[in-house]
Amino acid sequence: MNREFTTRTTCPACKSETILHWTHGEIPYLGEVMYLTSKCQCGHRYTDVFSLTEKEPLRYEFHIESQSDLDVRVIRSSTGRIELPELGIIIDPGTASESFISNIEGLLKRVEKILQIFLQDEEKRECAKELLNQIDEIYKNGNLTVIIEDPTGNSAILSKNAKKIPLTSE
């Protein structure tokens, strides 16, 4: 079985032709995956990981109570929906959703990066500042719930304290 191949594609940034590398592999908890990577001469990069298996649809709930909980591992597939209810933040999967493996602190850093962009928008600035302040408090004191729902079952929160709930069609 061929475990690596390449295809030609068009860079979404500069529209020039570039190469997309496909590599087959295994990741703990995700199973069989396909890695996609591309780097264009203009500097645009694309990486993603697609799970090649489908599991039971699941919802994970985890409540952060201390700084050490920020180290809990989070796996989000491209079909995973993340909710941070105390912050009023929902990250829905879309056509450009990327998978990632991180920890809760890394997830919050991703949110902060987006909020930094909103600081440039006069209409969204105050809300972004408030959310960034709330995230700073979470780093210090905990108190955040992380919810991940995935209809393919390929996302997870890896902690014995995470609630694992089967998703139903409702």
99-154 pLDDT per residue, tens: 888 999 999 999 999 999 999 999 999 999 999 999 999 999 888 999 999 998 88
Q: According to the model, what pLDDT value does residue 144 have?
A: 95
pLDDT exceeds 60 at position 65: yes
Which residues touch 10 (CB under 8 Å, ≥6 apart)? 16, 17, 18
Q: Nearest to residue 134, comparing CAs of 106, 162, 108?
A: 108
- Checking if the pLDDT of 2 tops 70, the result is no
pLDDT grade for 18, boundaries at 50, 70 and 90: very high
pTM of model > 0.75: yes
CATH class belonging to 4-51: mainly beta
Q: Which residues of 156-170 are buried (b: 16+ CB within 10 A; e: fewer)?
A: bbebeebeeeeeeee
pLDDT at 94 over 60: yes
pLDDT (0 to 100) of residue 27: 76
Whole-number Å distance between alpha carbons of 143 and 168: 28
The domain spans of the chain are 4-51, 58-166
Note the CATH number of domain 58-166.
2.60.120.1040
